[in-house]
């Protein structure tokens, strides 16, 4: 079983967001900007429904977000 590293996942979410604002992404995904910021900092992990929305928004698989490339 692979262990999920919240800090690595957060870094991947920041990388995927690129030049878009946290507010823009949060609105599209249906969460608050503060919640997205916590995901990106690795202090909180998304529920499955939110993770699914993030995957759809970024057009990435769950594995690509949870287990980012090194």
20-55 pLDDT, tens digit each: 999 999 999 999 999 999 999 999 999 999 999 999
State the pLDDT at residue 4.
83
Judge contact between 22 and 33, C-beta under 8 A. yes
pTM for this model (two decimals): 0.91
Is pLDDT above 70 for 12? yes
State the pLDDT at residue 8.
93
Token look-up 């490339």 returns 69
Domain limits of the chain? 6-64
> What is the pLDDT confidence band of residue 61, given thresholds at 50, 70 and 90?
very high
Is pLDDT above 90 for 1? no
Long-range CB pairs of 23-30, under 8 A, 24+ apart, other chains included: 25/57, 28/57, 29/53, 29/54, 29/57
- Quick one: fold of 6-64? 434 Repressor (Amino-terminal Domain) (1.10.260)
Token look-up 């928004």 returns 57
């Amino acid at each position: 079983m692979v262990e999920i590293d919240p800090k690595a996942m957060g870094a991947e979410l920041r990388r995927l967001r690129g030049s878009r604002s946290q507010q823009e992404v949060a609105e599209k995904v249906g969460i608050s900007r503060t919640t997205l910021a916590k995901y990106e900092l690795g202090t909180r992990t998304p529920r499955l429904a939110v993770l699914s929305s993030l995957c759809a928004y970024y057009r990435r698989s769950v594995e690509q977000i949870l287990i980012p490339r090194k």
